[in-house]
Structure 1
Amino acid sequence: MKKFLNKTICIFLICFYFFEVDQAKSVVPYYYLPTKKNLESESLSIGKDAYQLLYFGQYKKSLNLAKLAIKINKTDEKLWLILAEAQVANKLYKKALISLNKAQKISSNNSEIYFAKSNVYLKISQLEYAKTALEEGLSFEPNNHKAIFQLGNILLMEKNYSEAIKVFDKSIKIKPNFWQAINNQGLAYFEENNISLSIKHFEKAISIQENAEPLLGLASCLRMKDINLALQLAKKALTKDPKYVNYDYRKEQLWGEKIQNSTEILFQNDQLQTDIILAKSKINASS
Structure 2
Amino acid sequence: MPKHIPLFSLLVIFGLLSVQTPASGQALLPYTLQLDSEKLEQQGLNLVQDAVQLVRFQQYELALPKAELAIQLAPDIYQTWFILGTLYVQNQELDKGIAALKKARSLAPDEAVILFNLGSAHLKKEDYQAAVTDLSAGLKLQSEVPEALFALFDLGNAYYMLKDFDKAVSAYDKAVAKEKDFWPAINNIGLVKYEQGDVTGAIDKWQAAIAVDQEAAEPKLAVAVALYGQGELEKAISMGEAAILLDSRYADLEFLKENLWGERLISATQKFLENPKIQDALAKSQQTPITVEVAPE
TM-score past 0.5 threshold: yes
Q: 1:96 is matched with which residue?
A: 97
Q: 1:118 is matched with which residue?
A: 119
CA distance in 2, matches of 1:193, 1:203: 17
Q: 2:254 is matched with which residue?
A: 248
With CA pairs under 8 Å and 6+ residues apart, which has the higher RCO, 1 or 2? 2
Q: 1:165 is matched with which residue?
A: 169
CA distance in 2, matches of 1:161, 1:93: 26
Matches within 5 A, 1:2-41: 38-41=39-42
Which amino acid in structure 2 is aligned with residue 173 of structure 1?
A: A
Which amino acid in structure 2 is aligned with residue 268 of structure 1?
A: E
- Deviation (angstroms), 1:38: 4.8
CA distance in 1, matches of 2:185, 2:91: 29
- Deviation (angstroms), 1:45: 2.5
Q: 1:129 is matched with which residue?
A: 130
RMSD of aligned residue pairs (Cα, Å):
2.1
Does the 8 A contact of 1:245 with 1:280 survive in 2? no
Does the 8 A contact of 1:245 with 1:279 survive in 2? no
Instruction: Note the alpha carbon deviations across 1:126-184, whole angstroms, 9 max, x for none.
Output: 11111101111111112412111111111111222233122211111121111111000
Q: 1:156 is matched with which residue?
A: 160
Greater helix share, structure number:
1
Q: TM-score, normalized by length of structure 1?
A: 0.81
- The worse-fitting range, judged by mean Cα deviation, of 161-170 and 105-114 is 161-170
Larger radius of gyration: 1
Which amino acid in structure 1 is aligned with residue 265 of structure 2?
A: I
Which amino acid in structure 1 is aligned with residue 164 of structure 2?
A: N
CA distance in 2, matches of 1:208, 1:38: 50
Look up the SS of the partner of 1:239 in the other structure.
helix
Which amino acid in structure 2 is aligned with residue 159 of structure 1?
A: K
CA distance in 2, matches of 1:280, 1:163: 39
Matches within 5 A, 1:1-287: 38-143=39-144, 144-210=148-214, 211-223=216-228, 224-280=230-286
Percentage identity across paired residues of the two chains:
30
Instruction: Note the alpha carbon deviations across 1:37-90, whole angstroms, 9 max, x for none.
Output: 554443223112223334545444322110111222123212111111222233
Does the 8 A contact of 1:161 with 1:191 survive in 2? no
Which amino acid in structure 2 is aligned with residue 158 of structure 1?
A: L
Does the 8 A contact of 2:101 with 2:114 survive in 1? yes
Instruction: Note the alpha carbon deviations across 1:188-242, whole angstroms, 9 max, x for none.
Output: 1111111111111011100001200111111111112421111111111111111
Report the count of equivalent residues: 251
Q: TM-score, normalized by length of structure 2?
A: 0.78
